[in-house]
């Protein structure tokens, strides 16, 4: 009788446990060394690597990259054409928008040109990259080729438009 009383008195109430351990602000999923490859018709288009990724489902489904993020953009031939790096990033799955912040660098590997800014948006739906923040565009060995506020380009960063340019610009043919 005493043993039966002990066995039945030690039941854990799951609702009570959940109330004690549940945090509504906690991520639904946490991943380390996450690598995601987006493909189209079997061809690689975008690869994302993050040391730490946290996915939230409420209020919208968002994955946050809190310890740095690297994004590779592939050509039709499968070559990495451009690379995007930042200290923070997030993907909004509903809008198709990838936002990166803090020490953002977008580099075109073939042209050996890169741009630096503090915030950048990649819209997966129309394949454009943009920012309203201050940007500096440089070419390896040539120095600054453009600067100003706001920028529009493609994921390949093969050409760009500075919305409010300032200072001297390099208009050489290459």
Q: Tokens in use for 91?
A: 């993907």
What is the helix (H) or strand (E) element at residue 21, kind and residue range?
helix 14-21
Asked whether 97 and 89 are in contact (CB, 8 A), the reply is: no
pLDDT tens-digit series, residues 113-159: 999 999 999 998 898 999 999 999 999 878 888 899 999 999 999 99
* Per-residue pLDDT band at 91 (split at 50, 70, 90): very high
Q: What is the pLDDT of residue 23?
A: 66
Q: Where are the domains of the chain?
A: 28-165
pLDDT at residue 71, rounded to an integer: 95
CATH of span 28-165: 2.60.450.10
Predicted confidence at residue 7, as pLDDT, reads 53
Question: In the prediction, which pLDDT does 13 show?
Answer: 60
SS3 for 33?
A: strand
pLDDT tens for residues 38-86? 888 888 889 999 999 999 988 889 999 989 999 999 998 889 999 999 9
Model pTM score: 0.80
Q: How far, in Å, CA of 60 to CA of 28, rounded?
A: 12
Q: How far is CA 25 from CA 14, 63, 65, 92, 98, in A?
A: 20, 13, 16, 17, 21
């Amino acid at each position: 009788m005493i043993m039966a009383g002990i066995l039945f008195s030690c039941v854990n109430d799951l609702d009570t446990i959940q109330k004690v351990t549940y945090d509504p602000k906690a991520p639904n999923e946490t991943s380390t060394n996450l690598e995601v490859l987006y493909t189209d018709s079997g061809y690689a288009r975008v690869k994302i690597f993050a040391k730490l990724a946290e996915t939230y489902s409420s209020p919208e489904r968002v994955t946050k990259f809190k310890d740095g993020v690297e994004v590779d953009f592939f050509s039709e031939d499968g070559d990495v054409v451009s690379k995007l790096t930042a200290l923070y990033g997030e993907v909004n799955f509903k809008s198709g928008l990838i936002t990166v912040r803090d020490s953002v660098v977008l580099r075109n590997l073939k042209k050996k040109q890169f741009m630096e800014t503090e915030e950048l948006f990649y819209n997966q739906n129309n394949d454009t990259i943009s920012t309203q923040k201050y940007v500096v565009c440089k070419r390896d060995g040539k120095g600054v080729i453009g600067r100003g506020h706001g920028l529009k380009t493609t994921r390949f960063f093969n050409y760009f438009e500075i919305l409010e340019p300032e200072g001297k610009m390099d208009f050489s043919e290459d």
